[in-house]
Amino acid sequence: MIWNSASDFFAMGGYGTYVWGAYVVTAACMAIEPIAVAWRHRRARRDLAAAEDRR
């Protein structure tokens, strides 16, 4: 552990805005994509089941 305190960690040696700005946006992208893709898969299953039932 190289940080003395939590505020030290969040300050990132004065580069907090840049470092956290990069990490937060990356984390958001990599959280939203799996959710969106799971929704797409679920919708595809539902639509196929509905089309099957109509036969």
Partner 1 sequence: MTTANHRWRLYRFASPATFYPLAGKLVPWFAAVAAILAAWGLWLGMLRAPTDATQGDSYRIIFIHVPAAWMSMLLYVVMAFWAAIGWAFNARLASVVARAIAPTGAMFTFVALWTGALWGKPTWGTWWVWDARLTSELILLFLYGGYLALVSAIDDPRRGDRAGALLAIVGSVNVPIIYFSVVWWNTLHQGASVSVTTAPKMAAVMLQAMLLMTLAFWSYAFAVIFVRARAIALERDNRAAWAGAAAGRTAAQPEATT
Residue 7 binding partner 1, by CB under 8 A: no
User: CB neighbours (10 Å) of residue 3?
Assistant: 12
Shortest Cβ distance from residue 9 to partner 1 (Å)?
Answer: 8
Is residue 33 near partner 1 by the rule CB under 8 A? Answer: yes
- Which CA distances in Å does 13 have to 33, 39, 40? 31, 40, 42
Among 1, 5, 6, 7, binds partner 1 (CB under 8 A): 1
CA–CA separation, 12 vs 3, rounded Å?
Answer: 9
- The answer to whether the beta carbons of residues 10 and 16 sit under 8 Å apart is yes
| Site residues for partner 1 per CB under 8 A | 1-3, 9, 12-15, 18-19, 21-23, 25-26, 29-30, 33-34, 37-38, 40-41, 43-45, 47-49, 51-55
